A and B are shown apart, each in its own frame.
Chain A
Amino acid sequence: MSVITLSAAELAGRIQSGEVSAVEAAQAHLDRIAEVDGSVHAFLHVGAEAALASAALVDEQVKAGSAPASPLAGVPLALKDVFATIDMPTTCGSKILEGWRPPYDATVTARLRAAGITILGKTNMDEFAMGSSTEHSAYGPTHNPWDLSRIPGGSGGGSAAALAAFEAPLAIGTDTGGSIRQPAAVTGTVGVKPTYGGVSRYGLVACASSLDQGGPCARTVLDAALLHEVIGGYDPLDSTSIDAPVPSVVEAARLGAQGDLSGLRVGVVRELGGEGYQPGVRASFDAALQRLEKLGAEIVEVSCPHFEYGMAAYYLILPSEVSSNLARFDAMRYGLRVAEGASAEEVMAATREAGFGPEVKRRIILGTYALSSGYYDAYYGQAQKVRTLISRDFAAAFAKADVLVSPTAPTTAFPIGEKVDDPLAMYLNDLATIPTNLAGVAGMSVPSGLAEEDGLPVGLQIMAPALGEAVMYRVGAAFEASRLADEGALTAPEVAR
């Protein structure tokens, strides 16, 4: 097995034992990126020099025999280009931030560095995390390693594709309405949206502040858990960060891998299983339920009647916050500036016209409208009420079940270009993932197999109450171990170059 196909846990072990050096691991992944990223386009920026330098420090530590900075020291990682990095550009997939180098590191970036993790580069994304296909990146789409003519999901398609193409064993994403989980589902990888407040947002360029959450992406549940414990936990720089210990997700993942879920109740959300799901997705989900039952879990049906309003509420709250969060991109202090020499107002308007893509503009306009005086109560106000009702639905469901499950996305990866001009069709991708963001609870996507009709990966979504990540990881790991034993790993075909 080559270095690039190892799991992060295995690779970390080999680095600590001295069998593989961190520099070799970094170089192997940099070579892989050089080899396939022309086709995949997962990365917007590769920081080879810094990556190798960081890896060399880990090797020194190994040589000196001192304790590793973290269980993932020396393991390479792909960072979504929405996190501030002092040594690399941070563009958020937007022209308006082309070439912008932040003067500071995001808390997540700083924690990765402190853990000795090798940051390979920054991954492609839908502009400012708005989209479900990575087609809304100003720098061109990312291609799904399973089929280069298809989308890798979004907004974090770059991070997910990097994992599936073995360009990195670990990645970081952000999830505002499904941007970690849906890409994980359509690339056959694992993606976790932690509890809101579980991972610091400091230095994460905001899409929608009350919904955004950074989280781990990996090829295995255990790897995601290891990364979760590195990036999670209280940050005094983020007022919405939860001042509580990170749930013991590594321990939970190890426990889950033993394959016993007896005594656990798994709730099937009636409202997330109806129409609109591709047959192969439906079938994979049904098989997943049988597998969970076989592992000892009790399957119960729960109803979350207000989930049907989730999409509508989401597309009022998100654009409202976006319209305000993105107001700062005005050419005055950083980023793109056009119409130099005109009045400040003209420069602002012209820069925003030139710098933002159509989806971003669409949401800014929607949000500006929804917050306008006279409309606020009917739109933003009502949407907040729906949000409360959805939280109550979750609370009631979690009284009956330890975790909830659904298909992560309604379809497998669709062809590039298919939905890019149909915003509503695009938005429906996130139907099943949006409720967890609205309620601030945790969710993850674990591969559940391939759809019969197109041979493309399908994801199982597992949701848990706020700070209930341990049970979520346990179920995810048990399901993964059982499926692997029966079906083997989901490995994308070798990328055509």
Chain B
Amino acid sequence: MTAPVLVDYADVVARYEPTLGLEVHVELSTNTKMFCGCPTEFGAEPNTQVCPTCLGLPGSLPVVNRTAVESAIRIGLALNCSIAPWGRFARKNYFYPDMPKNFQTSQYDEPICVDGYMDVTLDDGSTVRVEIERAHMEEDTGKSLHVGGATGRIHGAEYSLLDYNRAGVPLIEIVTKMIPDTGGRAPEVARAYVTQLRDLVKSLGVSDVRMDQGSMRCDVNLSLSPTGSGVLGTRTETKNVNSLRSVERAVRYEMSRQAGVLDAGGEIVQETRHFEEQSGTTRAGRRKETSEDYRYFPEPDLVPIAPSAEWVEELRGTLPEKPWERRARIQESWGLSDEELRDLVNAGALDLIEATVAAGAPAGEARSWWVAYLTQQANTRGVELDQLPITPLQVARVVALVASGDLNNKLARQVVDGVLAGEGEPDTVVEARGLKVVSDDGALIAAVDEALAAQPDVVEKIKSGKVQAAGAIVGAVMKATKGQADAKRVRELIIERCT
């Protein structure tokens, strides 16, 4: 196969108009699967989270997970969709070893959410309205691991291992309408849409939307038409786009590749392509000799989903503030620059800081803890900030202890270390490690006198008016009290004793 001819991006944009379409699968973080009571936890031993239903054993039957329907409706409402008052599941029939029933229970022509939109904000502050065609519920398949063979795919593999833990995990597929007229900003729009959708879904608490773990997956549909022609081009569907950056790169690459094909007088083949993370390119999937016929029909083992208007309104009432609105509010109230806000968001610290503030800490202190010391700790441990074993409430308590003078900054870090080490609540750590600032004058005076006695030359200097020399004594007292003295008070006492 010859390497594709890529057209320079500026040139593509000058002569072609891209039309985008994005299909995003979101794995819901319900406790149990879509149609059975099996747990959905990621990373368990293969084939341990299975039962007759999600294994598709003969005689087993599905029962719809109410929480999954609730999550689907909430996602739909957050995307300004209409919620269908009545709809059935459908069976999508095809054979594949990781699909236990050899059909996927999905929704076909009666999706639960239709006709929504999301206003996507680009880097320059302008917005693009992305229209949502539908969001529907379906079940995930199992996972195959193809061993041997060159491609890591089923064809040519020596053998395959099957893990059905993921089979039946609830998925919501969110499909945009065609997004026209984005021109050269198509890659940016795609990325911004997926980013914003990820944040939105995350804010609903219905999925952890981890693209790296596959709990959010994106397919990019793209076609080109010669500028001004008004004729829609043939589209390709690129799968395996597993990061926000990849979304942008996949769109950009497909634009350059398709322009190359069209410039050479070729035709775009309507096909599924796979994104290669390493090279940032796409390659054609296995060409199907015949088009797949899924033989959809209404799932006879399930009754229709008919959410009442009251239920839908009740769920609408549970929608949180939109993440971008919330950000604007926080930026305003904390007086952050755009850059500062972006750093907080990128560090995944915004929620944590907000919760810390809500627990009573001043915004500045809360920010400082999370973006400095705790980010450092998270990096050292190689975990996400929100996976550190410390809660915003605990951070707020440490801040309060500093503010009240019970802790100084150095002690406060030791308290945080104690909490991170699983030694309990901040107060417990203070108690157990004996970390309280010594503010009892009696104890301090003894230490000060001892230090003064040890350094008579310094005492002389102080007495002669060189007050800054007191620093040496302060240091000695702090050392003697293992850092637990209130340095300010120590200095006052030294001056007092020397005059």
From B183-191, B299-307, B344-352, B366-374, the one touching the partner chain is B299-307
Q: Given A103-B52, A332-B162, A333-B100, A97 and B58 touching (CB < 8 A)?
A: yes
Instruction: Please give, as numbers and ranges, the residues of chain A lying within 8 Å of B303 by CB-CB distance.
Output: 239-240
Which residues 76-106 in A have Cβ within 8 Å of B in the complex? 83-84, 90, 92, 97, 100, 102-104, 106
Check: A373 CB closer than 8 A to any chain B CB: yes
Contact present for B58 and A90 (CB under 8 Å): yes
In the complex, which of the residues B102, B162, B301 contacts A328, with contact meaning CB atoms closer than 8 Å?
B102
Q: Can you offer 14 A-B residue contacts whose CB atoms are under 8 A?
A: A84-B52, A84-B58, A90-B58, A103-B52, A201-B61, A202-B60, A240-B301, A323-B93, A324-B93, A328-B101, A344-B154, A348-B95, A371-B295, A376-B295
Query: Which residues 250-308 in B have Cβ within 8 Å of A in the complex?
Result: 293, 295-297, 300-303
CB distance from A356 to the nearest CB of B (A): 14
Quick one: which of B57, B61, B62, B103 contacts A324, CB cutoff 8 A? B103
Decide if A239 touches B63 in the complex (CB within 8 Å).
Answer: yes
Say whether B59 faces chain A, with CB atoms less than 8 Å apart: yes
Count, chain B residues at interface, CB 8 A: 31
Q: Is A368 an interface residue (CB 8 A)?
A: yes
Q: Is A272 an interface residue (CB 8 A)?
A: no
Task: Determine whether the beta carbon of A328 is less than 8 Å from that of B293.
Answer: no
B301 touches A239 (CB 8 A): yes
CB within 8 Å for A368 and B295 given contacts A239-B64, A327-B101, A328-B101: yes
Q: Which residues of B contact A100 (CB under 8 A)?
A: 58
Minimum CB–CB distance from A439 to chain B (whole Å) comes to 15
Query: Which residues does chain A contribute within 8 Å of B58, judged by CB atoms?
Result: 84, 90, 92, 97, 100, 102, 205-206, 328-329, 334
A204 touches B59 (CB 8 A): yes
Q: Mark A300-318, 1 if CB is under 8 A from B, else 0.
A: 0000000000000000000
A237 proximal to B (CB < 8 A): yes
A-contacting residues of B (Cβ < 8 Å)? Answer: 52, 55-64, 91, 93, 95, 97, 100-103, 154-155, 160, 162, 293, 295-297, 300-303
Known contacts A102-B58, A372-B293; A344/B97 CB under 8 A: yes
Contacts A240-B301, A344-B160 given; does A102 touch B100 at CB 8 Å: no
- Inter-chain CA distance A328–B53, complex, in Å, is 12
Q: Least Cβ distance of B298 to chain A in Å?
A: 9
Q: Are B297 and A376 in touch, CB under 8 angstroms?
A: yes
Question: Is A330 a contact partner of B59 (Cβ separation < 8 A)?
Answer: no
Note all chain B residues with C-beta closer than 8 A to A371: 93, 295-297
Q: Which residues of A lie under 8 Å from residue B60 when comparing CB positions?
A: 104, 202-203
Shortest CB-to-CB span from B296 to chain A, Å, is: 8
Which residues from chain A contact B155 at a C-beta distance below 8 Å?
343
Min C-beta distance of B299 to chain A, whole Å? 8
Contact with B along A201-216 (1 / 0, CB 8 A): 1111110111000000
Contacts of B302 in A (CB 8 A): 239-240
With both beta carbons as reference points, the residue of chain B lying nearest to A106 in the complex is identified as: B59
Contact, CB under 8 Å: A210 / B63:
no
A238 interface residue (CB < 8 Å to B):
yes
Evaluate contact between B56 and A333: CB separation under 8 angstroms. Answer: yes
Q: Does A59 contact B (CB under 8 A)?
A: no
Chain A residues lying within 8 Å of B154, measured Cβ to Cβ, are 343-344
The CA of A205 and the CA of B91, in the complex, are separated in Å by 18
Given contact pairs A373-B293, A380-B297, A202 touches B160 in the complex (Cβ within 8 A): no
Q: Which 3 A-B pairs have the closest CB atoms?
A: A327-B102, A371-B295, A209-B300
Establish whether residues B55 and A333, one from each chain, have CB atoms under 8 Å apart when the complex forms.
Answer: yes
Do residues B100 and A202 form an inter-chain contact, with CB atoms below 8 A?
Answer: no
Tell whether A320 is near chain B: CB-to-CB under 8 Å: yes
Contact of B59 with A203 in the complex, beta carbons under 8 Å? yes
- A104-B52, A373-B293 as given contacts; A330 in contact with B57, CB under 8 Å: no
Chain A residues lying within 8 Å of B57, measured Cβ to Cβ, are 84, 102-104, 333-334
A330-B61 contact, Cβ under 8 Å, with A102-B52, A321-B300, A324-B295: no
Contact B300 A328 (CB under 8 A): no
Q: Tell me if A263 counts as interface (CB < 8 A to partner B).
A: no
Chain A minimum-CB-distance residue to B294: A373
Contacts of A97 in B (CB 8 A): 58
Interface residues of A in 203-231 (CB under 8 A from B): 203-206, 208-210
Which B residue's beta carbon lies closest to that of A197?
A: B303
A373 to B93, CA, bound (A): 12
Interface centre among B58, B103, B301, by most chain A C-beta atoms within 10 angstroms, is B58
Find the residue from A83, A203, A333, A344 having the highest chain B CB count within 10 A: A344
Q: CA A206 – CA B91 in complex, angstroms?
A: 15
Measured CB to CB, the nearest residue on chain A to B144 is A344
- The reply on A236 being an interface residue by CB < 8 A is yes
Collect the chain B residues with CB atoms within 8 Å of residue A90's CB.
Answer: 58-59
The reply to whether B100 and A328 form a contact with Cβ atoms under 8 Å apart is yes
